Structure 1
Amino acid sequence: MNPDECSEPPPTPCLNCGHELAAPRPNFCPACGQETDLRPPTLGAFLQQFGGAYLSTEGALWRSLKLLLLQPGELTRQYLAGRRKHYVLPLRLYLTISVVTLLLVRVLGGVEVDLATVNGYDPKAANSITIAQGRAGMRKGEFYCTDLPPWLCRQLKAHVDLDAPAFQRQVERFSERFVANLGAAMFVLLPSFALWLMLAYRNRCMRYTGHLVFALHLHAFWFVALAFALPESAWLSAIAVATMPVYTMLALRRVYGGRLGPRLLRAAAISTLYFVTLGLAMLGLALWSLLR
């Protein structure tokens, strides 16, 4: 037997950091910790890794959801206290929940766009779209625009074909565009909510990023509540909507503390500022989705 046949294969470097690996090759690089077997996993192994790391009953996602849903504000407290290893990071948790919810919005609910018909006319000949308190549409093949700024009426007339089926398609595209951009708009609004929190609780020893973490967790719960409000069930929607202010007050108490009276005043001020910001953002999103 040739002695060369029994010799160990020559050492190979780590593909990540270049460290010479000993023979027999270890499973992980002792210098950087990367796996040394970098062959693409099989589909079964990939699903097992994903499920074990993210979706298992012992995984970070379920631990995070348990705290998020059952103990308002506790997930934020755990993060601010430095206990982060066993939970999904705030931004990742928010993105995961918001993406799933917005997919459900597109499948189950969508954005309600007024395709109202005009009394006495053929439904195929009269369609309208409502923006804020104004309305634009077609009536007997003619474009009309009421209670909207003149510049917007001109823009709508320029973008809408006077053919009724074409206008119908334009309205449908508006709904799709609005839903597609809703997630990005809500994400952009998060820093403003954290800013209102920082102003309302400026006497707390907390950096802006701490308020942002609370905003991410709170919005994540709101998206969960929205998901439960989507099915066509009046009682389920009512419960989902009712939980939002209750949850918010409990989360504020756990994270910021304070007496009930001042907490209610702060919550009212934050809500007013945020809903004004949200309304302007949604109006801008609607116009951008319609006119682009």
Structure 2
Amino acid sequence: MSHGKIRADKTCLNCGHLVEERFCPHCGQENTETKQPFHYLFTHFIEDFTHYDGQFWKTIRYLLLNPGRLTKEYLTGKRQTYVAPVKLYIFISFITFLLPSLFSGSEEYDDKQNKKEITAKELKEKQTEEKITKFTDSLALQLKSKNIKNQKPETYKDAKITEVNGNDIETDALSETNDGKMSVLGATNMKQFDSLYAKKVSDRRVFDFLRPFASKVFHLQDQGLGKEEILNRFSETFIHTLPKALFVYLPIFAFFLWIFHNKKKWWYFDHGIFTLHYFSFLLLGILILIFFNRFLDMIPDNIFVSVLQILAYMGGVIYIFIYFFIAHHRVYESSRGISLLKGFLLLIINFIGIMCMLLLLMYISFMMMH
């Protein structure tokens, strides 16, 4: 509830009706003073959403620990006691999208600060080591190339070496060169990629499929990014885009529920409420796992931390599956056998659908990196 000061005038400023208590009985507007301190802009938002009477925290508790009850309560008409499903999903989706990006931004700042703290002596030693490594690697590569060219044609073919612009390049789909760069089908730039494309007449479909990826990888490497930085940017972009992709999948998930249940008893609206609550639970679970992982990152690596991390992820995945079956059984009130059968079919269908969505999301996330 808001703690704003109540106006002495009992006339509602919104509709003009008499307000005997705090809220207008006609339009519902709170009869508080129009002039408020600046901090009221922020405290009012928090109070309006969480409703310090326990509405928000009760909703979160039921969402996490009582599968299906929130949906069942809402469908039976008990709606004022809990946060509305759409409002709940948008809020959880917002914090899932926002908070990890804030923490990743602070980590990038810390990394930059740590890099600045490297002394000139350490930098000079590092450069010397790199020169020695490059020299030895170059010498080894020349000897290897000379030995391969002196071998029989069959042996040379088995070595999987292709000469592009005078350079010997491995023809793996995605690999890392000696200088730390990423190569696509053996090429480290678009010129080499196009040269390989001209020679590989029978494999041009593979080249056509990988061309957008190659172009993106080479563009990022031209900007000075290494393999680790590219992969980090990809993971961050993927995590930030995931809530949006889940939102797009909401009506599809509800549609599959609609197909498997009685159309007269259960409307598409009912399946939509179940879907909103379940996906809110998924997002909140993802957020909890992200912060749990960030917390473990602050602890020095040891066997106990590694085992704890594995157990936490396994427990989270198992709970997500069990949660769906319990919630489905409670909401749709079917027998356990029928509920299990429908639940397994729905999970298999949606697993295929979500995997297709994730593959598409991975492609979009990779292409959206900058």
TM-score of the superposed pair, with normalisation by structure 2: 0.59
Match of 1:225 in 2: 285
Structure 2: gaps of 5 or more residues: 1-8, 106-173, 198-202, 297-308
> 1:6-45, aligned counterparts within 5 Å?
16-17=14-15, 19=16, 32-35=27-30, 39-45=34-40
| Alignment partners' CA distance in 2, 1:46 and 1:139 | 56
- Does structure 2 retain, via aligned residues, the 8 Å contact 1:54–1:61? yes
Residue type of the alignment partner of 1:121: N
- Does structure 1 retain, via aligned residues, the 8 Å contact 2:96–2:243? no
| CA offsets 1:61-106 (integer angstroms, 9 cap, x no match) | 1111122122210100111001100100011111222222333444
Aligned-pair CA distance for 1:238: 2.1
Match of 1:155 in 2: 212
Match of 1:247 among 323, 331, 338: 323
| Alignment partners' CA distance in 1, 2:348 and 2:250 | 15
Aligned-pair CA distance for 1:284: 2.0
- Does structure 2 retain, via aligned residues, the 8 Å contact 1:68–1:75? yes
Aligned-pair CA distance for 1:187: 0.3
> 1:81-230, aligned counterparts within 5 Å?
81-106=76-101, 118=176, 121-123=178-180, 126-127=181-182, 136=184, 142-143=192-193, 149-161=206-218, 164-166=221-223, 168=225, 174-202=234-262, 205-230=265-290
Bigger-Rg structure (1/2)? 2
Match of 1:288 in 2: 364
| Alignment partners' CA distance in 1, 2:242 and 2:175 | 27
Aligned residue pair count: 264
- Does structure 1 retain, via aligned residues, the 8 Å contact 2:188–2:218? no
Structure 1: gaps of 5 or more residues: 1-10, 111-115, 129-135
- Secondary structure (helix, strand or coil) at the match of 2:83 reads coil
- 1:66 paired with 2:126, answer no
Residue type of the alignment partner of 2:221: A
- Does structure 2 retain, via aligned residues, the 8 Å contact 1:218–1:248? yes
- Does structure 2 retain, via aligned residues, the 8 Å contact 1:178–1:289? yes
| Alignment partners' CA distance in 1, 2:51 and 2:23 | 24
| Alignment partners' CA distance in 1, 2:221 and 2:256 | 45
- Identity level (%): 29
Residue type of the alignment partner of 1:152: F
- Which moved further from structure 2: 146-155 or 212-221? 146-155
Residue type of the alignment partner of 2:270: G
- Secondary structure (helix, strand or coil) at the match of 1:161 reads helix
| Alignment partners' CA distance in 1, 2:219 and 2:45 | 51
Match of 1:80 in 2: 75
Change (3 A) 1:20 1:275: closer
Aligned-pair CA distance for 1:49: 3.5
- Which moved further from structure 2: 60-69 or 195-204? 195-204
| Alignment partners' CA distance in 2, 1:147 and 1:202 | 50
| Alignment partners' CA distance in 2, 1:244 and 1:63 | 20
Aligned-pair CA distance for 1:283: 2.0
| Alignment partners' CA distance in 2, 1:243 and 1:27 | 43
| Alignment partners' CA distance in 2, 1:244 and 1:80 | 22
- Which moved further from structure 2: 78-87 or 169-178? 169-178
- Which moved further from structure 2: 71-80 or 26-35? 26-35
Residue type of the alignment partner of 2:182: N
